[in-house]
Amino acid sequence: MSARSDAIARRFGDGGPSGEGAEDNDLIRRVLSRKTVRRYSERMPTDELLDLLVACALSASAKSDFQQASILRVRDQEKRAAIGKLFPAMPWIGIAPVFLVFLGDARRLQRIGEMRGKPVENGTLEGFFNASIDAALAMQTMILCAESAGLGVCPISVIRNEVDKVSAILGLPDLVFPVAGLCLGYPQGEGYVSLRLPRGVTTHSDRYDDSGLAVGIDDYDHRRNALHAIPREQQRSNAEFGEAAFYGWSEDKARQAAKAEGAAFPPYLRAHGFSFD
């Protein structure tokens, strides 16, 4: 087995294609083995490295070349602390060496329309969706480049649960919204590669077909459980759903999704320039 097919097996463990025979490279091997990091050493990434990573992020593809991503670095310690305090269950938000916020920025194009005297209406669903995707692509590009430079990162979408407070702290104007924060720093500890769903569930050929979902998820739950079982004390919402004898990924995600997050986000967006028409 090559290092690459080994990495694919570790990522999926589904006995699927191993990529054997295809030429790989350093980036491909890194992506296959990448992992989110939530604990960082005290070493601070240099400003020069951060500038480089921002340039990489802003080199990501952008819908229609509208370039609707913006990146905000939170340097001010009081602002960092104020944001961190909103999410005590995720202490890495307040203490990671670097914290960036990736913004969907539908405002810039709206303003350019005004500057050029054109009737731009960018608070539409299309404007929101395009700006969201641009910001997500920019963030993922930074993630991969940061990891290749030896940094560890953790995206932070929980900030949207307190979008009013976070936006007030960051002074976000209408038509600009946080897609996610990003913690960055040099990793402390190893972490682990998170097993992905079997490709029989997430890929299709010529025609969408999820007839194998139940079997695929069951198989995944058991394989994932054998690698990283979720401890009994981390079962969610036991008061409501009861203690599960077998608590796999799908039970955890179904319980998580049953407690819908993000209730504050739609009213925030509607109050800040988005009609979604």
Ligand X SMILES: Cc1cc2nc3c(=O)[nH]c(=O)nc-3n(C[C@H](O)[C@H](O)[C@H](O)COP(=O)(O)O)c2cc1C
Residues 32-61, mask of contacts with ligand X (x by CB under 6 A): ---xx-x-----------------------
Residues 171-210, mask of contacts with ligand X (x by CB under 6 A): ---------x-------------x----------------
Question: Tokens at residue 54, please?
Answer: 């921002």
State which residue, 96 or 176, has the beta carbon closest to ligand X: 96
Q: How far is the CB of 113 from ligand X (least distance, A)?
A: 29
Report the residue from 69, 154, 163, 172 that binds ligand X according to the rule CB under 6 A: 154
State which residue, 194 or 202, has the beta carbon closest to ligand X: 194
State which residue, 38 or 224, has the beta carbon closest to ligand X: 38
Q: Contacts with ligand X: how many residues (CB under 6 A)?
A: 11
State which residue, 160 or 272, has the beta carbon closest to ligand X: 160
Nearest to 219 by CA among 32, 15, 35: 15
State which residue, 110 or 156, has the beta carbon closest to ligand X: 156
Q: In the sheet where 152-156 sits, what is the strand order?
A: 69-73, 98-105, 176-185, 152-156
Is there binding between residue 253 and ligand X (CB under 6 A)? no
Residues whose CB falls within 8 Å of the CB of residue 242, separated by 6 or more in sequence, listed in order? none
Report the residue from 49, 90, 217, 230 that binds ligand X according to the rule CB under 6 A: 90
Q: What is the DSSP letter of 158?
A: G
Q: Cα Rg for the chain, rounded, in angstroms?
A: 21
The rounded distance, in Å, linking the Cα atoms of 74 and 78 is 10
Is there binding between residue 120 and ligand X (CB under 6 A)? no
φ/ψ of residue 155, rounded to 5: -65, 150
Report the residue from 62, 69, 106, 156 that binds ligand X according to the rule CB under 6 A: 156
Is there binding between residue 83 and ligand X (CB under 6 A)? no
Q: How far is the CB of 149 from ligand X (least distance, A)?
A: 17
- The residues with which 101 forms a beta bridge, in sequence order, are 72, 181
φ/ψ of residue 100, rounded to 5: -115, 155
Q: How far is the CB of 141 from ligand X (least distance, A)?
A: 13
Is there binding between residue 157 and ligand X (CB under 6 A)? yes
Q: How far is the CB of 261 from ligand X (least distance, A)?
A: 9
Give the angle 53-54-60 at the CA atoms, nearest 5°.
95
Report the residue from 152, 155, 178, 248 that binds ligand X according to the rule CB under 6 A: 155
Q: What is the DSSP letter of 90?
A: -
Per DSSP, helices labelled H in the chain are: 3-12, 26-32, 47-57, 77-85, 92-95, 107-115, 125-148, 163-170, 199-202, 213-227, 238-241, 249-258, 265-271
Contact between 176 and 107 (Cβ < 8 Å): yes
Q: How far is the CB of 37 from ligand X (least distance, A)?
A: 8
The binding site for ligand X (CB under 6 A) comprises: 35-36, 38, 90, 154-158, 180, 194
